[in-house]
Amino acid sequence: MVLPITSKVNSKGHLEIGGCDAVELVKEHGTPLFVMDEETIRGQCRAYMGAFAGKTDDFEVIYASKAFISVAMCRLVQEEGLSLDVMSGGELYTAIKAGFPVAKAFFHGNNKTPAELNLALEHGVGRIVVDGFHELELLDKIAAEKGMSQDILLRITPGIKPQTHNFIQTGQLDSKFGFGLQDGLAMSAVKKALTLGNINLKGIHAHIGSQIFELGSFAKAIEIIMGFVRDIKEETGFVVGELNTGGGLGIKYKAVDEPSTIEEYASVIVDGVKEQAAHFGIPVPRIMVEPGRSIVANAGITLYTVGTIKDIPGIRTYVSVDGGMSDNLRPMLYGAVYEALLANRVDDEAHALVTVAGKHCESGDILVRDTMLPYPKAGDILCTPATGAYGYMMANNYNRQPRPPVVMVKAGSARVIVRGETLDDLVRLDTGLQ
């Protein structure tokens, strides 16, 4: 699956998603346009819930909202019975506004501010995932001021490097995130947390990275973490009741990608934890996972209108679209590779080798390098699949480009779940307006 599960080509040769013709969506909402397929998102949520329920009674699937969050998305996640992971006061605020039960929220981040921690405690966030000693003390102090005790997990870095882009590896010792295992800081953090009066240590968290294809990395991390859980019990007597193994399951951005399935992933996680618990003679903790990308990435597509086409004979044909790094930063940030198709003539033969460029004032603003398309013309609707995760969330206003709307499609109807910005929105924070 690269395109959403409801995708097909209709009788006009147009791409259709969630029963909606992409060309009609563009007529109504313009371009660039993010389209999210509700059935795909719900299907992925259910696949996760089903896969884990099939392996254990004691688990929690936590949607990592930084992949894509909006009020509508929070409601959908709540309906599907998942918990929510937030990384900032802004994500938390969105969940609060959506009426999401924040007792089922996990608050992450390597430098949560006092204001963010206050907001979290005031609204009764279920777990704070504490990332450093400064935060441990700060949180204890804030909880004391409020006369409460806050449940926490401690984020540790197990010291492994999964096969993925350097920028999205997070489990190595040399990381800004968490307490290192090898340098002994993780054990010190556990001991410290156990002495603090307004903190209630529930368990351990580790997130080793993102877009991981090799499930062996998760198995290896679990082996290391469960060894640590045993050490904690031996050194302090504390029994870890919750183990959050983070997110990171890879997805298919291109037809040739072969990520593991959610079922395979659930087996590796649950079997791994159970086997290691037996091996170390410790109880099996509640198992928590935090998928983000694999819930929403393939549910989303972006639609653009083709404009300028620059053919440099013998060198390259640049096909420029009306968005770019402002709505999809990943190609520039990580060299992420996407595919493209023409949504208004999907079946036409793809015989032109082109490079799809954005409209921004950066030569690096390239969305798709060297891809085969039917020879594009101005006015064609170009679609990049698999933009549902870390697309809209990284959208920005470079060159004062308004951020596009997001529509959610289902059974032939499309509803705007995030409005597009207007030119007035772009100046709304500027002072000096008449």
Ligand X SMILES: *Cc1c(COP(=O)(O)O)cnc(C)c1O
User: Restricting to residues 180-209, which ones interact with ligand X according to CB under 6 A?
Assistant: 207
Using the rule CB under 6 A, is 104 a contact of ligand X? Answer: no
Q: Which is nearer to ligand X, 15 or 222 (CB)?
A: 222
Distance of alpha carbon 266 from alpha carbon 56, whole angstroms: 10
Contact positions with ligand X (CB under 6 A) in 52-81: 64, 66-67
Task: Please report whether residue 345 would count as binding ligand X according to CB under 6 A.
Answer: no
Question: Under rule CB under 6 A, which residues in 232-271 are in contact with ligand X?
Answer: 246-249
Size of the site for ligand X (CB under 6 A): 16
Is 126 an interacting residue with respect to ligand X (CB under 6 A)?
no
Applying CB under 6 A, among 85, 135, 242, 327 the residue interacting with ligand X is 85
CB of 234 to ligand X, least distance (A): 27
Q: For ligand X, which is the closer residue by CB, 176 or 254?
A: 176
Shortest distance, CB of residue 47 to ligand X, whole angstroms?
14
- CB closer to ligand X, 207 vs 359: 207
Judged by CB under 6 A, which of 43, 158, 203, 291 binds ligand X? 291
Query: Which residue, 85 or 327, has its beta carbon nearer to ligand X?
Result: 85
* Given the residues 20, 45, 74, 361, the one annotated as active site: 361
Q: Is 20 a catalytic residue?
A: no
Looking at 40, 157, 169, 294, which residue binds ligand X (CB under 6 A)? 294
91 in contact with ligand X (CB under 6 A)? no
Please report how close the Cβ of residue 30 comes to ligand X at its closest, in angstroms. Answer: 29
**Which residues are catalytic, by number?**
361
The footprint of ligand X (CB under 6 A) covers 64, 66-67, 85, 108, 207, 210, 246-249, 290-294
